[in-house]
Structure 1
Amino acid sequence: MDQPDATLDTTPTTKPNQDLSRLLIGLLKGVLYRESDEPLWAALLTLQSAVRDTMRLLDLELVLDEAEGYAFLKSRDDSDDDDEGSTRLPRLIARRPLSFPVSLLLALLRKKLLEFDAGAGDTRLVLSRDEIVELVRVFLPEGTNEARLIDQIDTHINKVVDLGFLHRLKPGAGAAAAPDNYEVKRILKAFVDAQWLSEFDARLAVYRQRLMPESATAEGRRHD
């Protein structure tokens, strides 16, 4: 009796695994934006369950915002432990404390983004360096050296760029990309929510009260 011919299945089976590997590596490196890599973004939407399961082994959580078009990893909260007596794994993503000026700048940019979203127009909020400087300088103690104050604000801006919440636009990429222009990245909404803003407003009110006596004393001295 004739035996049927054996045929090899040549259908590729490694593509999903390759996509998953690329996703895991990319997310461990930083934020994934839809606009930066649309094919990889499409793979994430398909494989997000596998990504979540894999990252849970590293005590990480996938944050995915389809509407805004970004995804990133964060350490799971302590309250997310399933077993009360379980030992926490070492943090793969370290928490970075921020200085008050940097926190202030993040809060002001978040409010600016909130105001921008309330109006109609472009989806990209672009601010010039001078506009960002003016946002911050009214909250910082005035010094006799104006240039030094501006340099300090530039340092805070560079820190926010390093954190990924501001993107320095290259000159020559359109009218919005003039020298010293920055795009406020929408991922800022995931880190600075309404509760954070409310708590920061309370701290800012205390900070303002602390500055007012100093300003009043300086003003009085000038009139003596």
Structure 2
Amino acid sequence: MKGVVYRDAHPVPWLHLTQMQTQVRDYVAVMGLTVAIDEAEGYAFLRSRPDDSDLDGPAVPRLIPRRSLSFHVSLLLALLRKKLAEFDANNSDTRLVLTRQQVIDLLTTFMPTTIGEARLVDQIDTHLNKVVELGFLRRLDDGEASYEVRRIIKAFVDGQWLADLDTRLAEYAAELSGTTAGPH
């Protein structure tokens, strides 16, 4: 019940989950959870059920914690999601693999230029490690520092998430410029 089940990494649990979807959905519903299964992409995970005031009975406590992400981690997730969308549009391969240097190049544009290059790379490595810890990237043991972008990023970084990020960025930019952000 903890983490993501991938078809390629967990073949036996994946088989059981796909064969017993109805029973699993009923079982976790009692705990206020839903099962998100993407058979096309090959992953499944548990998600908290949306807070509905229409539900009968007592409220169920949140079992899956919400995590607040830093600006640069959110930005890295958005950039990785964009990279995955571009990759899917232009390639027939199923795995997007990026080197550490490619990720550094992606983020460098958005990092402050007032710090030294070594410190900048250290900060990017910290953000990169957080994204790995969250499960959106997987380190590859290929002799060089490279990462596979996990397709589960599509389930979390969707159009709504990107729109929310855009809104927060607009508010942040307005705050920096000394104006208030109004409706667009």
Return the TM-score normalized by structure 2.
0.88
The secondary structure found in structure 1 opposite 2:97 is: strand
Contact residue 139 and residue 208 of structure 1 kept, 8 A? no
Q: Which residue in the other structure is 1:76 paired with?
A: 49
Aligned to 1:196: 161
Report how many aligned residue pairs link the two structures.
178
Q: Residue 167 of structure 1 aligns to a residue in which SS?
A: strand
More strand as a share of residues: 2
Post-superposition shift, 1:39? Answer: 2.8
Q: Could you say what secondary structure the match of 1:74 adopts?
A: strand
SS at match of 2:52: helix
**Contact kept? 1:143, 1:149, Cα under 8 Å:** no
Between 1 and 2, higher relative CO (CA 8 Å, sep ≥ 6) is seen in: 2
Q: State how 1:162-173 maps to structure 2 within 5 Å.
A: 162-171=133-142
Map Cα deviations across residues 139-193 of structure 1 (whole Å, 9 max, x no partner). Answer: 122123111111011000000000000000012xxxxxx4110000000000010
CA–CA distance in structure 1, aligned partners of residues 107 and 14 of structure 2: 35
1:41 and 2:14 matched: yes
Q: Counterparts of 1:145-224 in structure 2 under 5 Å?
A: 145-171=116-142, 178-204=143-169
Unmatched 5+ stretches in structure 2: 178-184
Alpha-carbon distance change, 39 to 142 in structure 1, aligned in 2, over 3 angstroms:
same
Please tell me whether the aligned partners of residues 169 and 180 of structure 1 are also in contact (alpha carbons under 8 angstroms): yes
Structure 1 or 2: more helix by fraction: 1
Deviation at 1:80?
7.5
Counterpart position of 1:131: 102
Percent identity of equivalent pairs? 56
SS for the counterpart of 1:95 is coil
Give yes or no for contact 1:168–1:182 (8 Å, CA) kept in 2: yes
Which residue number corresponds to residue 20 of structure 1? none
Change (3 A) 1:81 1:152: farther
**Residue-by-residue CA offset, 1:176-216 (whole Å, 9 max, x unaligned):** xx41100000000000101222332344456567789xxxx
> Aligned-residue CA RMSD in angstroms?
2.1
Alpha-carbon separation, structure 2, partners of 1:80 and 1:70 = 30
Q: Closer, same or farther in 2 for the Cα pair 1:127/1:209, shift >3 Å?
A: farther
Q: Which runs of 5+ in 1 are unaligned?
A: 1-27, 172-177, 213-224
Structure 1 length as normaliser, TM-score? 0.73
Tell me which structure has the larger Cα radius of gyration. Answer: 1
